[in-house]
Amino acid sequence: MNPELKFTDVAAELYAPQKRKDDLKGFEYTYRAEITSIYPLTEMETLYRIQVVDPEERRRFAFTPGQFLMLEMPGIGEAPFSISSSPSIHGEVELCIRKVGNLTNFLPRVKRGTHVGIRGPFGTGFPMQNMHGQNVLLIAGGLGLVPLRSPIAYVMENRSHFRDVNIIYGTKNPSQLLFTYQYEIWRKDDIDIEIIVEKADKSWKGPSGLITDPLEDILSGRDSEYYHNTYAIVCGPPVMFKFVCNMLNEFHIPMQKMFVSLERRMHCGMGKCCRCNVGSTYTCLTGPVFDYWTVMNLKEAI
Amino acid sequence: MIFRTFEKQELKKLFEILAAHNRIIGPVETGRDRDGRPVYAFADVTDYDDVELKYSITKLPAKRFFLPFKEDLSTFRIENDTWQKEISYNVDRPLIFFGLHPCDINALNKLDKVLLHSVYPMPYYAAKRENMFIVGMDCIPQPYCFCRSMGSDTALHGFDMFITDLGSRYFVEILSNTAFNFLKNIKTSEPGEDDHVLYMKVVAKRNNEFTRHVDTTDLTKILDMEFQSEVWKEWGDKCLSCGTCSSVCPTCYCYGVDETVDIDLKGARKTKMLHSCNLIDFAEVAGGHNFRPGRENRLKYRYYHKHRGFVEAFEESLCVGCGRCGESCLADITVPEVIDSIRGSGRNK
Amino acid sequence: MEAGETGTRTYLGVPLYRPRVAFFEFSSCEGCQLQILNNESTLLDFLSLVDVVNFREAMTGGSDDYEIAFVEGSITRDDEVKRLKKIRKKAKTLVALGSCACFGGVNQLKNRFKDINKAKKEVYGRHPIDSEPVRTLEDIVKVDLKIYGCPVKKEEVEKIALHIAIGKSIVFPKYPVCMECKRNENICLFELGEPCLGPVTRAGCDSWCPNSRAGCWGCRGPADEPNMEQMKKIMEEYGFSEETIMDRLECFGGFSSLMGKGNTK
Ligand SMILES: Cc1cc2nc3c(=O)[nH]c(=O)nc-3n(C[C@H](O)[C@H](O)[C@H](O)COP(=O)(O)OP(=O)(O)OC[C@H]3O[C@@H](n4cnc5c(N)ncnc54)[C@H](O)[C@@H]3O)c2cc1C
Ligand code: SF4
Ligand code: SF4
Ligand code: SF4
Ligand code: SF4
Ligand code: SF4
Ligand code: FES
């Protein structure tokens, strides 16, 4: 018998029938995408609009609110970012990115038209359809408004499916407020919006305090019918969502109807690098969106 | 399953026939430690006399051949301010592993579960795994082996053929058609009833030689209950956060990714490097926040991943009980001792 | 191409920054500078990224107009202090190149002798020259970036030049040498009966010394939050004397701030 082993090419066509070739190829596949617009929002954050180049791929690239993608700039870095735009537009996403490290500092320097690689979408999203016929509280602190813009867009496009919708958004100081130009548009869609800053400055005319202040006002004016028929999406730093969710809980909104998005270090988005683990749960697979009951039961979560 | 026996000198013949046409990785001696004991490693072998079939254990597992410490996931050609991505799975020929012990075969089976048979299978691993031919070899239990407690003392699958030393001759289990064909190159015979008896005797004798045990009953629950236990702090105080335990572990697979630009600016690469959850930056994010700032947080997480998370996902732990981590840990942190202490901390309360 | 001027060179559309750089040395062996010159295959690429206006090892003359100063060596004399301050004034960025500049390096060993005159005699025989306790650059001026190593790794300096050009941040491994040592499949020196500072020393040298079966002397200084107490215990357990441990820890000066302290966290 010939004692020479034959080489098996897992990328070859012949290998495909048994072993899901497409899955294997998908692992490192990046959509080529173009940065079509770069819009500085604050000193630290910039909004990028990114479009998948190939029309066929563009059609296929769909996501649900709450999901994230991996954005790659060759040689500079690859990192996860929440998709911050309407899920009804395929193959085009908006990302709002804060300058904190290698990739995020490089991106504001590139020109419109630059090509990047994107992988994904990854992770779980907010169960928007389950919320139909219900009241929705959309609560964000700081950069948390970024992932919240996708469910906000969904709610606006499907406004008739929802009852009362409140957005509550807070930052440390007024200069950190994101998407200030959109608040009026949201209001026009019969969405109630409360903006609050922790430290007001001279220019600030709105209320100042903690995000739980307007939340308490909204909740205390309601009855149990409201509490039983309300969903909450809470995005922001852990301390913030902990306080917010505790307050929601005091008003007997069930923990399974509160959703938060967790952030951890990520290098793959596919349950392989283990960097995103909370206790022993993969944030990239089982999250980043979790209901609060699950979060309470995760070791290391808050 | 098909069984055969063959005379001992036939193994050399088989090796030489295979070696003439294939690249073979086997256990070799790479030095002596300060007590004069041999130190073994898996390396390329072309000469049968270099293969140490009676090796105790290798310091490092065969991992680097299918999960290299450092590997390019992709390279980029940079031209005119744009890029082309090129992907290679970094393998171009099959490898024969000659003499893997049951623990190391079981380690591969565990890795298969997460890297091949779960969502997003990993092609870099798959490509290498598909091109492995494994000759398993029985072993002599060492004082640090607790594979029997982990259910990894025998390999049921994941190899092409498995050889057991019956003293006078070899007994071989054949799992693959390729192995069956290879064995046609040497003289083998159908085992008789006496071979079966002898085989069972050899296995029974080996079973009695295990001295290290660890109780894993209800471990997933106990780890949860003892999450705040003081014992973790004690182990954390000893730990050097050096990552050696993960580097020498046949089942640790986690990694980091780094992108670099070539100095001539004409290319770039995306490199995967195996990491360790004991290293300080494992869970650190840009801006400096560290989700596991203390040594004890990180050490604890290592046990969480191996003995809780993996069990939840795949009904078995991510540890084969080879004992390598404890043997290599300069701080003498061993899996059986850590697990015992966690169980004990509950009892003392 | 002129310094600072980026010409047409870009990376993915982003203009490169080509700084004017100068190299200076104080009390040192100049080995670090030699490292940079010693690989001809990448030297031209390196020189295309930076505009070297002053490099004693490589050129005569040299200009005083620079943005980044790479400074090698430790400070032992008064005139050196003055010169260093002058460099600091001119340079936008001051880089400490090598362990002498970062920690004092081997030079600082003489600080161990209580009587500086005795040290002088031992070192310079009967011709004592003006020599004060060894100081690091940071003892005197602000240092913007430290490149560790004795000598530095050429690849690391090249990478830094590249990162300055494309605007990537410069980061060093936070973990210890053992990680690289295992990647290189070395037999641990403790097993061979030799001492090694790998478990507490910052990686990045690709475990240079253990690769040739020599224990690490800690030339790159401590890793992030090294477990010094455990390191000392291990040394003792493997039968090495307090003196052996101290010799190693004090050799390059990187650990001086951790001396006497046990657990750093
Ligand atoms: C699910 C998810 C959604 C996110 N959405 C946004 C967003 O919409 N806008 C935004 O500005 N930021 C977001 N982040 C954070 C963002 O990923 C980090 O700011 C980014 O990774 C920093 O990369 P860098 O190369 O600039 O930093 P470096 O410090 O150079 O980081 C190197 C690598 O470490 C990993 N890493 C470092 N920090 C983080 C982190 N905080 N989270 C995950 N990985 C990290 C990445 O793989 C990164 O490439 C999100 C993170 C997660 C996990
Ligand atoms: S357990 Fe041991 S080998 Fe692992 S990181 Fe800690 S000291 Fe190093
Ligand atoms: S954790 Fe230790 S004993 Fe378990 S498989 Fe890994 S190296 Fe072996
Ligand atoms: S135990 Fe730690 S080092 Fe091993 S695979 Fe899991 S996360 Fe990685
Ligand atoms: S030789 Fe040194 S660096 Fe290498 S593993 Fe041993 S202690 Fe660590
Ligand atoms: S092994 Fe230690 S002494 Fe040797 S180069 Fe690396 S850090 Fe320096
Ligand atoms: S990001 Fe890699 S496992 Fe989750």
Residue C1: its pLDDT value, please?
A: 44
Residue B275: its pLDDT value, please?
A: 97
The token pair that represents B295 in the structure block: 């040594």
CATH topology of domain A17-121: Elongation Factor Tu (Ef-tu); domain 3 (2.40.30)
**What pairs with residue C147 in β-bridges?**
C97
Residue A7: its pLDDT value, please?
A: 86
Q: Report helix, strand or coil for A115.
A: strand
Contacts of A26 in chain B (CB under 8 A): 120
For C179, which of B39, B238, B243 is closest by C-beta distance? Answer: B243
Residue C2: its pLDDT value, please?
A: 47
Q: Which chains touch C (3 or more CB pairs under 8 A)?
A: A, B
Residue B222: its pLDDT value, please?
A: 92
Please classify residue B20 by burial: count the beta carbons closer than 10 Å to its beta carbon, then call 0-12 exposed, 13-18 middle and 19+ buried.
exposed
For B120, which of A5, A267, A272 is closest by C-beta distance? Answer: A272
Residue-range domain boundaries for chain B: 2-67+90-208, 219-251+278-347
| Structural domains of chain C, ranges and CATH numbers in brackets | 2-166 (3.40.50.700), 177-254 (no CATH)
For C168, which of A74, A76, A110 is closest by C-beta distance? Answer: A76
- Residue C122's pLDDT band (cuts 50, 70, 90): low
User: Cα B35 vs. chain centroid, distance in angstroms?
Assistant: 26
Q: Counting runs of H as helices and runs of E as strands, what totals does chain A give? A: 11, 14
Cα–Cα distance for residue pair C122/C125, rounded to 1 Å: 6
Please classify residue A184 by burial: count the beta carbons closer than 10 Å to its beta carbon, then call 0-12 exposed, 13-18 middle and 19+ buried.
exposed
Instruction: Pick the residue of B30, B80, B242 with the most C CBs within 10 A to test the interface with C by mutation.
Output: B242
Distances (CA, A) of C166 to C18, C65, C93: 9, 22, 16
Contacts of B270 in chain A (CB under 8 A): 72, 74, 78
Mean pLDDT to the nearest integer, B287-310: 93
Contact C168 A102 (CB under 8 A): yes
Residue-range domain boundaries for chain A: 17-121, 128-296
**For residue range B12-48, what is the model confidence (pLDDT) as tens digits?**
999 999 999 999 999 999 999 999 999 999 999 999 9
Reported in sequence order, the residue ranges of A132-276 that DSSP labels E, i.e. its strands, are 135-141, 165-171, 192-197, 230-235, 258-261
Residue A270: its pLDDT value, please?
A: 95
Q: Counting runs of H as helices and runs of E as strands, what totals does chain B give? A: 12, 11
Closest chain B residue to C184, measured at CA: B69
**For residue range A150-172, what is the model confidence (pLDDT) as tens digits?**
999 999 999 999 999 999 999 99
- pLDDT of C115 > 70? The answer is no
For B242, which of C49, C159, C179 is closest by C-beta distance? Answer: C179
Q: Are B328 and C188 in contact (CB under 8 A)?
A: yes
Contact B242 C11 (CB under 8 A): no
- Residue A109's pLDDT band (cuts 50, 70, 90): very high
Who lines ligand 7 at CB under 6 A? A 266-269, 271-276, 282-284
**For residue range B107-153, what is the model confidence (pLDDT) as tens digits?**
999 999 999 998 999 999 999 999 999 999 999 999 999 999 999 99
Cα–Cα distance for residue pair B148/B211, rounded to 1 Å: 10
Q: Are C59 and C93 in contact (CB under 8 A)?
A: no
CATH of A128-296, one of 3.10.310.10, 1.20.1050.10, 3.30.70.100, 3.40.50.80: 3.40.50.80
Contacting B residues, span 27-86, partner chain A, CB-CB under 8 Å: 73-74, 76, 78, 81-83, 85
Cα–Cα distance for residue pair B242/B236, rounded to 1 Å: 12
Mean pLDDT to the nearest integer, B62-69: 96
Q: Whose CA is nearest to atom 8 of ligand 2?
A: B242
Radius of gyration, CA atoms only, chain C: 20
- The ligand that comes nearest to the alpha carbon of residue C189 is 5
* Helix, strand, coil content of chain A in percent (nearest 5): 35, 25, 40
Closest chain C residue to A104, measured at CA: C168
| Predicted ipTM of the assembly | 0.92
Reported in sequence order, the residue ranges of chain B that DSSP labels E, i.e. its strands, are 2-7, 23-32, 38-45, 70-79, 82-86, 95-100, 132-137, 161-165, 169-174, 255-261, 267-274
- pLDDT of B266 > 90? The answer is yes
- Residue A18's pLDDT band (cuts 50, 70, 90): low
Contact C169 A105 (CB under 8 A): yes
Residue C53: its pLDDT value, please?
A: 86
What does pLDDT average to over chain A?
Answer: 91
pTM of the model: 0.92
Residue C261: its pLDDT value, please?
A: 45
**What pairs with residue C227 in β-bridges?**
C263
**For residue range C129-174, what is the model confidence (pLDDT) as tens digits?**
555 678 889 888 999 999 999 888 888 888 999 999 999 988 899 9
Query: How far away, in angstroms, is A264 Cα from ligand 7 center?
Result: 9
- pLDDT of B271 > 90? The answer is yes
A266-280, B48-62, B171-185, C37-51: range with lowest mean pLDDT: C37-51
**For residue range C209-241, what is the model confidence (pLDDT) as tens digits?**
999 999 999 999 999 999 999 999 999 999 999
The number of the ligand 1 atom at minimal distance from the alpha carbon of A83 is 8
Residue B349: its pLDDT value, please?
A: 42
**For residue range A222-244, what is the model confidence (pLDDT) as tens digits?**
888 999 999 999 999 888 988 99
